[in-house]
Amino acid sequence: HSHRKVADETTAYFHGCVLIVALTALHTFHTLHFSEARVRRYIVTKLGEDWIFLVLLGLTMALVSWSMDYASAKSLQAYKWIHGELKGNVPLQYLAWVTFPMILVMFASLFCHLVSPQAIGSGIPELKTILRGVVLKEYLTLKAFIAKVIGLTAALGSGMPVGKEVNKPTFSSLYYILTVGCAVGVGCCFGTPLGGVLFSIEVTSTYFAVRNYWRGYFAATFSAFIFRVLSVWNKDAVTITALFKTNFRMDFPFDLQELPAFAIIGISCGFLGAFFVYLNRQVVLFMRRPTALTRFLTKHRLIYPGAVTLIIATFTFPPGFGQFMAGELMPRECINSLFDNFTWTKISGSPAPPSLGRSSAWLHPHASVFVILLLFFIMKFWMSAVSTTMPIPSGAFMPVFILGAAFGRLVGEIMATLFPNGILFDGIVYRILPGGYAVIGAAAMTGAVTHTVSTAVICFELTGQISHILPMMVAVILANMVAQGLQPSLYDSIIQVKKLPYLPELALGKYNIFVEDIMVRKVKFLSAQSTFRELSHLLETSTLKTIPLVDSKGRRIYHFSHIQSFTLSKENKVHLSIKVWEEAELDKPIDMDQIRIDPSPFQLVERTSLHKTHTLFSLLSLSHAYVTSIGKLVGVVALKEVKSDFFFFYLHDFCQVSQFESVMQHDSEL
């Protein structure tokens, strides 16, 4: 009995120990699991929103951009191979030369039309509007991204004078992600992360949050690095280097005597850039006029891009007119040749050296280098202005970049002719570098068209040299001064043509205009005592997405409600089968607890100036604001009022407010 008792106690003790160990293990497991969950949550919340997401964004865009470049490069190789294989048979050569790009361009146009028409164009004007706080439907969707990538790849592979612009991030809705996405698109496109970030800030943001700088630089640098690594892996480059590597001398790249020529390039590019924007806009406006031709082209969507491609391909046909404008060179070959170190006027008329490479296309036995460069510039100018209006995904940066390089090269060759022996400095004669002039012209022209100065930084990164930093900055600033005084930027011009709801910059000056002069006074609203009948009437007579909610019919503002959150809608009323019960229910007050309410809508006072209102709308990305007087709702001002009123008062020298109010009274809704 005693032995059994000891055994039972031992067994109980053993079971107790096992239970304690099990409980301890379970507790430890839960503790570790909880710690793991905390670590995971920390990583997701702290790193996932920034580092991890930026790495994924940069990696994705690098892979997409490299794939697009690879596919378009193979397409251009096939294009030139077909042309070379048919050498000797000019009719077949011409047929192949015009048919190949027509098929690709029309495919790009048709694909975008069927999948996502929002993918047409560069995307920067739309992104600029979205960053302004305006919701543009279907512009940041997966369909738009797919249409953009495939359509742009086909367009680039056609050899037409269109550029590769911004890959829009489709999976982001946060402001900083959109700005980073734009920086990644530009930086990855050219392999220029520094210039890409600065360019994206200049073209998209009126006010930029400094906290987003590191995000943009990190993602753009990572994306550009992967993009260049892929090029090395594919043996397109020997190592990670600049996209259009130059080797200008560093000891004496230019002389002070050349500064007037650089200034002439900047001023001339300012006028030419403004004219490019004007010509591009006139082509778009012409196509929108209600004429028989435009109606026919609108009905048959593929005819316009096909006709434009046919005309451009005909003019660039190498055995034909293209021999006088280096028509056989593809866009990147043009840039590489325009940036070379040779002085073409010195070797023109003599056997070209073997090291000249593709630059030999600029030399013709029966035409001067100046004639070829001038013809190239004139022809490519209108070709680029027209081709960027085709309904395909395309950018204007690269075509304008080539135009500027050609113009700068023309000035450089003229300078080399004027100073055939070079410039004497410190007992040493230094020859003129026309390639340096081409780099300056490229930066100045793109800066004039886009109204940015970061194009100089992009050129530094593209060429891998900063030898011409001073004259380049002078030329870009002069080009901007001239262009901004004549025309809006290309992106602002597209915004105006498309009538996108973007608020332009406010010019300097004193404006004696206040919110009370431009606000809409007849505001539809609900009160805390409103019935379902009033709500039903409001739903049927307006298309408002948001409705102001006041605490009494005296219109003292209380808070702001979203119409989507109302529990009663038009469809609900159909299911009410008893008319009497329906009438009784409609007369009951609305239960405001069932409505999603913003308790702090943005408010202005009547005497808020137009300048301050413009600043607040731009800085906070507002779409509308309520105007109150001692807490009483007296009006509402929306983005379109601020925009249209600003233009009205600016253009009409601040005419009488009462005249303008009569124009605005037709719209009684937000």
Distance of CA 46 to the CA centre of its chain: 28
3-class SS of residue 544:
coil
- State how far the Cα of 102 lies from the Cα of 312, in Å rounded to an integer: 10
| Cα–Cα distances in angstroms (integers) from residue 636 to residues 71, 519, 539, 639, 668, in the given order | 52, 5, 19, 10, 10
Are the C-beta atoms of residues 182 and 200 closer than 8 Å to each other? Answer: yes
- State how far the Cα of 603 lies from the Cα of 560, in Å rounded to an integer: 11
Q: Residue 471 contacts by C-beta under 8 Å, 6 or more apart in sequence?
A: 254, 258, 259, 262, 440
Two structure tokens written together for 302? 């593929």
Are the C-beta atoms of residues 163 and 153 closer than 8 Å to each other? Answer: no
- State how far the Cα of 626 lies from the Cα of 637, in Å rounded to an integer: 6
What is the model's pLDDT at position 648?
A: 45
DSSP class per residue in 567-623: S--HHHHHT---HHHHHHHHTSBP-GGGS-EES---EEETT-BHHHHHHHHHHHT-S
67-92 pLDDT tens trace: 888 888 889 889 988 888 888 888 89
Q: Where along the chain do its domains lie?
A: 44-90+103-234, 256-348+357-497, 515-665
The edge-to-edge listing of strands for the beta sheet with 546-550 is 526-527, 546-550, 557-562, 597-598
- State how far the Cα of 113 lies from the Cα of 286, in Å rounded to an integer: 21
- State how far the Cα of 261 lies from the Cα of 256, in Å rounded to an integer: 10
* CA contacts within 13 A on the Cβ side of 313: 24
Q: Could you tell me if residue 609 is left (phi over 0), alpha (psi between -120 and 50 degrees) or otherwise beta?
A: beta
Are the C-beta atoms of residues 191 and 423 closer than 8 Å to each other? Answer: no
- State how far the Cα of 201 lies from the Cα of 175, in Å rounded to an integer: 12
- State how far the Cα of 322 lies from the Cα of 666, in Å rounded to an integer: 56
Rg, Å, the chain Cα set: 32
Selection from 409, 403, 332 nearest residue 370 by Cα: 409
- Residue 351 burial (C-beta neighbours within 10 Å; 0-12, 13-18, 19+): exposed
What is the model's pLDDT at position 408?
A: 92
Q: Is the dihedral of CA 348, 349, 355, 359 positive or negative?
A: positive
What is the model's pLDDT at position 659?
A: 35
Within the chain, which residues score under 50 in pLDDT? 1, 3, 5-7, 32, 168-173, 558-571, 573-574, 647-670
- Residue 400 burial (C-beta neighbours within 10 Å; 0-12, 13-18, 19+): buried
Two structure tokens written together for 595? 């409505």
Q: pTM value?
A: 0.78
Cβ atoms within 10 Å of 492's Cβ, excluding its own: 20
Q: Are strands 546-550 and 557-562 parallel, antiparallel or unpaired?
A: antiparallel
560-569 pLDDT tens trace: 444 444 444 4
Q: Are strands 597-598 and 603-605 parallel, antiparallel or unpaired?
A: unpaired
Selection from 465, 446, 487 nearest residue 266 by Cα: 446
Architecture of domain 44-90+103-234: Orthogonal Bundle (1.10)
Specify the residue for token string 């060179």.
329
With helix as H, strand as E and coil as C, how does 43-61 read? HHHHHHHHHHHHHHHHHHH
C-alpha angle with apex 310: 160 to 157, nearest 5 degrees?
30
Residues forming beta bridges with residue 638, ordered by sequence position: 624
What is the model's pLDDT at position 650?
A: 42
Two structure tokens written together for 11? 């067994």
What is the model's pLDDT at position 173?
A: 45
Question: Phi and psi of 632, rounded to 5°?
Answer: -95, 130
44-90+103-234 and 515-665 in the same fold: no
CATH pick for 515-665 out of 3.20.20.300, 3.10.580.10, 3.30.1330.60, 3.40.1190.20: 3.10.580.10
3-class SS of residue 626:
strand
Selection from 222, 182, 190, 276 nearest residue 487 by Cα: 276
- State how far the Cα of 555 lies from the Cα of 548, in Å rounded to an integer: 10
Q: Residue 237 contacts by C-beta under 8 Å, 6 or more apart in sequence?
A: 228, 231
Selection from 141, 384, 423, 138 nearest residue 254 by Cα: 423
- State how far the Cα of 527 lies from the Cα of 264, in Å rounded to an integer: 65
Two structure tokens written together for 59? 């990696």
- State how far the Cα of 480 lies from the Cα of 118, in Å rounded to an integer: 30
Cβ atoms within 10 Å of 305's Cβ, excluding its own: 25
Selection from 595, 572, 575, 590 nearest residue 534 by Cα: 590
Two structure tokens written together for 173? 């809705």
- State how far the Cα of 212 lies from the Cα of 54, in Å rounded to an integer: 12
Classify domain 256-348+357-497 at the CATH topology level. Clc chloride channel (1.10.3080)
Specify the residue for token string 């395909």.
392
Two structure tokens written together for 346? 């010195």
Specify the residue for token string 């990164």.
461
Residues forming beta bridges with residue 597, ordered by sequence position: 561
For the chain, what's the residue count? 670
Query: 3-state DSSP: the chain helix, strand, coil percent, rounded to 5?
Result: 65, 5, 30
- State how far the Cα of 306 lies from the Cα of 311, in Å rounded to an integer: 9
